[in-house]
């Protein structure tokens, strides 16, 4: 179902699919060995080497615009399921994958929306075989190789992710939110106290809608995707 296109270098796989989404078929996966301007959420950079995996999937779902952020949780659940075959990992809502308190993968989902959804680009960066990181990331980032102590095949990981995503995404399109259970089970933030917009809150859970359930001033509230930045874990 997925058609993989490999590039030696691209500015950004997300950018490439966004710029070319009209001429490229749904379920095309663009992989870049190197990105020159890889992007993360909130205008951050995504820095990786050719030892790591950076790819984006082009989707053209017929869903409500408000559901686009859930796709971030669908791919997050897929990543976590695959990484779990090697080592325990958690999902830091809404879209970081954590091993032993360090970030191993990030997700950037972008919608191209006019009157309706034209396309959704699902970008994933996973530190696979890198063993050193820029100084400001050393205490926050890890790779599969660092955690497992051995080289991992990027191709195998990509194939496993696409196969997991294939089934969870189809479930999601059919209104079956299997991915939510995976996210809930591996919720890194559960029972943690964190800062949201400089306010200390306690995370209780993730609910059936994929929203974060928190306790703020002893009142239970829901946080919607993308509404907040969680800050006390690693300056995110």
Binding site for ligand BTN (CB under 6 A): 12-14, 35, 38-41, 44, 46, 54-56, 96, 106-108, 123-125
Q: Is the N-terminal amide bond of 94 cis, ω within 30° of 0?
A: yes
Q: Which is nearer to ligand BTN, 96 or 160 (CB)?
A: 96
**What tokens were used for 141?**
């980032």
Least distance in angstroms from the C-beta of 67 to ligand BTN: 20
Q: Which is nearer to ligand BTN, 124 or 158 (CB)?
A: 124
Q: Which residue is nearest to ligand BTN, using beta carbons?
A: 106
Least distance in angstroms from the C-beta of 56 to ligand BTN: 5
Beta bridge partners of 120: 59, 111
Contacts of 114 (CB under 8 A, 6+ apart): none
Least distance in angstroms from the C-beta of 79 to ligand BTN: 11
Q: Which is nearer to ligand BTN, 107 or 214 (CB)?
A: 107
Q: Which is nearer to ligand BTN, 49 or 178 (CB)?
A: 49
Contacts of 59 (CB under 8 A, 6+ apart): 26, 27, 71, 119, 120, 121, 122, 169
Least distance in angstroms from the C-beta of 152 to ligand BTN: 17
Q: Which is nearer to ligand BTN, 60 or 202 (CB)?
A: 60
CA distances to 5, 64, 215 from 32, rounded to whole Å, are 9, 30, 41
Buried b (16+ CB within 10 A) or exposed e, 50-78: ebbbbbbbbbebebeeebbbbbbbbbbbb
Least distance in angstroms from the C-beta of 222 to ligand BTN: 22
**What's the order of all strands across the beta sheet hosting 3-10?**
3-10, 28-35, 53-59, 117-126, 102-113, 96-99, 90-92
Least distance in angstroms from the C-beta of 103 to ligand BTN: 7
Q: Which is nearer to ligand BTN, 69 or 106 (CB)?
A: 106
Q: Can you tell me the distance from the alpha carbon of 33 to that of 167, in angstroms, rounded to the nearest whole number?
A: 26
């Amino acid at each position: 179902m997925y058609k993989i296109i490999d590039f030696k270098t691209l500015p950004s796989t997300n950018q490439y699919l966004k710029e070319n989404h009209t001429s490229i078929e749904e379920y095309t996966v663009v992989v870049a060995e190197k990105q020159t301007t890889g992007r993360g959420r909130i205008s951050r950079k995504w820095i990786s080497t050719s030892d790591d995996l950076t790819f984006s999937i082009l989707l053209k779902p017929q869903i409500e615009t408000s559901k686009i952020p859930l796709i971030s949780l669908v791919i997050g659940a897929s990543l976590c399921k695959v990484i779990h075959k090697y080592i325990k990992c958690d999902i830091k809502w809404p879209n970081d994958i954590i091993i032993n308190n360090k970030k191993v993968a990030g997700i950037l989902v972008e919608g191209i929306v006019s009157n309706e959804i034209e396309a959704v680009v699902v970008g994933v960066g996973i530190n696979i075989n890198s063993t050193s990181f820029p100084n400001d990331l050393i205490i926050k980032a890890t790779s599969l190789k660092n955690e497992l102590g051995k080289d991992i095949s990027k191709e195998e990981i990509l194939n496993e992710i696409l196969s997991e995503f294939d089934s969870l995404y189809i479930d999601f399109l059919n209104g079956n939110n299997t991915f939510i259970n995976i996210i809930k089970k591996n919720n890194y933030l559960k029972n943690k106290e964190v800062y949201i917009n400089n306010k200390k809150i306690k995370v209780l859970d993730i609910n059936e809608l994929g929203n974060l359930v928190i306790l703020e001033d002893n009142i239970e509230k829901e946080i919607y995707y993308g509404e907040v930045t969680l800050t006390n874990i690693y300056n995110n």
